[in-house]
Chains A and B, each alone.
Chain A
Amino acid sequence: MTFVGLPNLKEAVLRKQVLGVFIVVLATTGALSACGDSGSDELLIYSGQHEQTMALLTEDFTRRTQIETKIRRNSESALANALLREGSSSPADVFITENPPALTVVQRKGLFAKVDAATLANTEKRFSSSFGDWVGVSARSAVLVYNPEKLTASQLPTQLTQLAGPRWKGSVGIAPAESDFQPLVTALGKLEGDDAVASWLTGMKTNAKLYDGNVAIVKAVNRGEISAGLIDHYYYYRARDEIGAKRTIARLHYFAAEDAGSLVDVSGAAALKSSDKPEDAQRFLAYLVSKPAQEIIAKSESYEYPIASGVRTQRAIKPFSELKPPDIGVDDLGDGRAALRQLQDAGLL
């Protein structure tokens, strides 16, 4: 407790502090107005996509078109949730994600503009929304990552549903709360029915160790905490880049042809109907599926597959043509709510 006295001194100190606060507020508001001015000329992209690749793509796009871009990064689900609340007042021009459900949920609110037909024509039809309001840009495959010290080749499953069997108890990892998992659940439902999903998830509830993300699964498999885990292929390669190839003993295993476990999932992009730069937004979508953009994706460290303009991956990963996905369209993956319900009913969430 300070001694109350010397009021003049006190007041002087106080005045100095008030001045200090004033300066700080001034500095802050200065920063404020500085950022308020800019922006309206730039194409605003809501991106849930891989950071490095997006940076390369937007740079190249600006170089080619002189259209400046601004990226708002967040998880695709946070952005989709924000878009649902923003509705027609959204400041966004373009939305790009890693999985279809985030696009579908916004699409169902009717917030997307139709994609130019020429843009859609650059990508195989099955990789874009059948309503024509978002376009597929890149793809990834579901895989099993496994530890070869714990599993021999003959022990590897050929079907997703085998993981619900008793021999996998405690030794398989999944990340049910991550947006990459629920497309698998939806795919299994489309292929084998809801009962098959229910019994598979019940089995997984018993067998699986739950992780917060694909990366945690790759690491857990690599150190032998679990023998295998369900992930998308590119997390394995990105994790391998980070921890070093020498220290990566985990390997990838692909499920049988047309099994739900061989699902190929698409990253897509859409233009917002409320955009005040609809032409620029369409040009960006067109750019994403053009040859130069797809070649950037083909070389990028995101390890995704390019899927448009005839470009093939230049990374040392299983060629896209050798993947044997089940016949599940991107619209079949829905908005994920049914899968959420099934996961909840099984007690995984």
Chain B
Amino acid sequence: MTGATVALGRRRRRASRRRAPSVLLALGLLTATLSLIPLVFLGLEVRHIDASEINRLLLRSHVGHLLGNTLGLVVAASILSAVIGIAAAWCVERTDIPGRRTWMVVLVLPLAVPEFVSSFGWVSFFPSMQGFWGALFVTVLAYFPFVFLPAAAVLRGIDPALEESARSLGLSAWSTFLRVTMPLLRLPVLGGMLIIALHLLAEYGAFAQLRFPTFATEIYAQYEIGFDGASAALLSLVLVALSVMFLVGELFARGRARYARIGSGAQRTRTRVALGRRTPLAVGSLGLLGALSLGVPLAALVYWSASGNSSTLPDASVIDATITTLQFALAAAILTVALALPVALLAIRRRGVTSTLIERSTYIARALPGVVIGLALVSFSIRSAPGLYQTVPLLIAGYAILFLPLALIAIRGPIAQLAPRMEDVARSLGLGPLRAFARTTLPMLRSGLGAAAGLVFLSTVTELTGTLLLRPTGMETLATQFWTYTANLSYGAAAPYAAIMVAISAVPAYLLIRRLDLSAT
């Protein structure tokens, strides 16, 4: 770690040196307020429960079991995803493995497969895929791209001179990786792990199918058979507590190093590690990873289309659902990135208690199951904004609350690598603060913003429970149509919707990769 900080400048900007501009602060506070709406409504639900009921609900052995399951899976899956994600990124970016572009696509695309599709695929082909190991296997395969993608971006972006200097100063290849490369990977990898951890706290559909009880599945059961908002809210607060624990943990693990340097300089072309006789092994490993994470769910779709007999459903238009989905996803991507940008700028450039609190508070909602966010927003809009109930704006706001963390994680890395001094120079040359930002920082953030929008887009396309609760009546997305058909056992009829979901998610996934290519050249 010290190696890199020395290389990149140890001196850190003191928060007091420049106070955050009030516009930025106001925008950040607005975003944080939006993100915390669900928590406020959880608090309101819990307030009527008496102490003995709290004891009965929380202090039973089953809760201990759920806590063990949830924590065990979150820790194991995020670490395993990090290892697999970094290793795959290194293979693709740093070796002479054939077909690099193809591998990028194959290893990012699992993000385009909804969890309920991949877990259903696994369960239908391998019914014994159950319990802790089944859940770990399926979730790591679904989520490792959250580490792979940012890790690949950093590995590609690092100036080869950094690592070459370390080698020339006598470090072995392995020590160079540990002391120079790893510290640079730390921010994006921790971000990816945090996202995975929060996702897993909230995950329901996959764990229900894999017969692995967690807090989230328990919360669903409370709503499902007890119609009991209060106990569900209480259990959700446990998830909030767990997420705060991870958020504080990540903050400490992240450290306070700075990663910015002035000017990208002229990088020379990197020499890739020649795999030689190890090529088949590397190709085989990545191939297996791709086949398991992408091949199995896609095979399940083909199998359903071929074998399901029941498609006597009313002719709902696939095209309508596709257009609706695209509009929702685009709107969600734009709003979410717009909300995330000020928060990320505050968190990276104006470190301090307020900006840290603002940033961290926007992650918490991601740890809550979609049904909790959805019902909280139902309560909110009925009480405070009845005109918004079951309208597109409320739905899009819901998506923004759910997916802000994804956008933040994708933007904060690129912002950290930009020197604020560029903007200072633009200001000293007479530009106003907004124009200076628009002409220096913003253009350089394009790939980061694109990646953020792409991730939010992908996630919106596949979001289900929140959409079911908040969508305007009559507007169906691909995910809600897929749900309708599978809930009625019409897998044959459901398959095309899932296939289109994967196909349109593949577009932003491809753009994410192209951005990476452009920014590297």
A240 to chain B, nearest CB (A): 10
Residues B473 and A39 in contact, CB atoms below 8 Å apart: yes
Residues B444 and A1 in contact, CB atoms below 8 Å apart: yes
Please give me the residue from chain B that is nearest to A302 by CB atom: B488
Q: Which of A81-89, A117-125, A256-264, A316-324 contacts B (4 or more CB under 8 A)?
A: A81-89
Residues A32 and B487 in contact, CB atoms below 8 Å apart: no
Compute how far the CA of A3 lies from the CA of B263 in the bound complex, rounded to whole angstroms: 8
Q: How many residues of B contact A (CB 8 A)?
A: 77
Residues B489 and A215 in contact, CB atoms below 8 Å apart: yes
On chain A, the residues within 8 Å of B224 by CB distance are 75, 77, 177-179
On chain A, the residues within 8 Å of B378 by CB distance are 82, 85-86
Say yes or no: is A2 at the interface (Cβ < 8 Å to chain B): yes
Report the number of A-B residue pairs with Cβ-Cβ less than 8 Å.
190
Instruction: State which of B309, B327, B443 has its C-beta within 8 Å of the C-beta of A2.
Output: B443
On chain A, the residues within 8 Å of B491 by CB distance are 242
Say yes or no: is B391 at the interface (Cβ < 8 Å to chain A): yes
Residues B375 and A35 in contact, CB atoms below 8 Å apart: no
A60 to chain B, nearest CB (A): 12
**Which of A32, A39, A238 lies at the interface centre, i.e. has the most chain B CB atoms within 10 A of its CB?**
A32
On chain A, the residues within 8 Å of B327 by CB distance are 27-28, 31
Residues A85 and B375 in contact, CB atoms below 8 Å apart: yes
Residues A77 and B223 in contact, CB atoms below 8 Å apart: yes
Say yes or no: is A311 at the interface (Cβ < 8 Å to chain B): no
A300 to chain B, nearest CB (A): 10
Instruction: State which of A14, A73, A212 has its C-beta within 8 Å of the C-beta of B443.
Output: A14
Residues A241 and B310 in contact, CB atoms below 8 Å apart: yes
Compute how far the CA of A139 lies from the CA of B323 in the bound complex, rounded to whole angstroms: 38
List A residues 325-345 near B (Cβ within 8 Å): 335-337, 339-340, 343-345
Say yes or no: is A25 at the interface (Cβ < 8 Å to chain B): yes
Compute how far the CA of A72 lies from the CA of B469 in the bound complex, rounded to whole angstroms: 9
On chain B, the residues within 8 Å of A31 by CB distance are 323-324, 327, 392
Compute how far the CA of A188 lies from the CA of B327 in the bound complex, rounded to whole angstroms: 50
Residues A77 and B227 in contact, CB atoms below 8 Å apart: yes
Residues B229 and A84 in contact, CB atoms below 8 Å apart: yes
Say yes or no: is B217 at the interface (Cβ < 8 Å to chain A): yes
Please give me the residue from chain B that is nearest to A108 by CB atom: B227
Please give me the residue from chain A that is nearest to B207 by CB atom: A212
Q: What secondary structure prevails in chain B residues at the interface with A? A: helix
Do A340 and B225 form a contact, CB below 8 Å, given A1-B264, A239-B489? yes
Residues A177 and B310 in contact, CB atoms below 8 Å apart: no
Residues B228 and A51 in contact, CB atoms below 8 Å apart: no
Say yes or no: is B371 at the interface (Cβ < 8 Å to chain A): yes
Do A336 and B309 form a contact, CB below 8 Å, given A78-B371, A212-B208, A349-B221? no
On chain A, the residues within 8 Å of B309 by CB distance are 241-242, 244
Residues A77 and B330 in contact, CB atoms below 8 Å apart: no
List A residues 210-257 near B (Cβ within 8 Å): 210-212, 215-216, 219-220, 223, 225, 238-239, 241-244
Say yes or no: is B474 at the interface (Cβ < 8 Å to chain A): yes
Residues B314 and A55 in contact, CB atoms below 8 Å apart: yes
Instruction: State which of A52, A85, A177, A216 has its C-beta within 8 Å of the C-beta of B220.
Output: A177
List A residues 178-221 near B (Cβ within 8 Å): 178-179, 181-182, 209-212, 215-216, 219-220
On chain B, the residues within 8 Å of A307 by CB distance are none
Instruction: State which of B213, B439, B474, B488 has its C-beta within 8 Å of the C-beta of A51.
Output: B488
Residues A21 and B334 in contact, CB atoms below 8 Å apart: yes
On chain A, the residues within 8 Å of B61 by CB distance are 347
Q: Which of B242-250, B355-363, B382-390 contacts A (4 or more CB under 8 A)?
A: B382-390
Please give me the residue from chain A that is nearest to B520 by CB atom: A1
Instruction: State which of B127, B218, B391, B485 has its C-beta within 8 Å of the C-beta of A32.
Output: B391
Compute how far the CA of A311 lies from the CA of B220 in the bound complex, rounded to whole angstroms: 37
A339 to chain B, nearest CB (A): 7
Say yes or no: is A136 at the interface (Cβ < 8 Å to chain B): no
On chain B, the residues within 8 Å of A220 by CB distance are 127
Residues B382 and A177 in contact, CB atoms below 8 Å apart: no
List B residues 195-233 near A (Cβ within 8 Å): 208-209, 211, 213, 217-218, 220-229
Residues A182 and B225 in contact, CB atoms below 8 Å apart: yes
B486-514 vs A, Cβ < 8 Å mask (1 yes, 0 no): 01111110000000000000000000000
Residues A24 and B334 in contact, CB atoms below 8 Å apart: yes
On chain B, the residues within 8 Å of A216 by CB distance are 123, 209
Q: In the complex, given contacts A212-B208, A242-B308, what are 6 additional A-B residue pairs having Cβ atoms less than 8 angstroms apart?
A: A24-B331, A35-B392, A52-B314, A241-B489, A242-B491, A344-B57
Name 6 interchain pairs, CB-CB below 8 A, sorted by A.
A1-B519, A24-B331, A25-B331, A51-B314, A73-B480, A242-B492
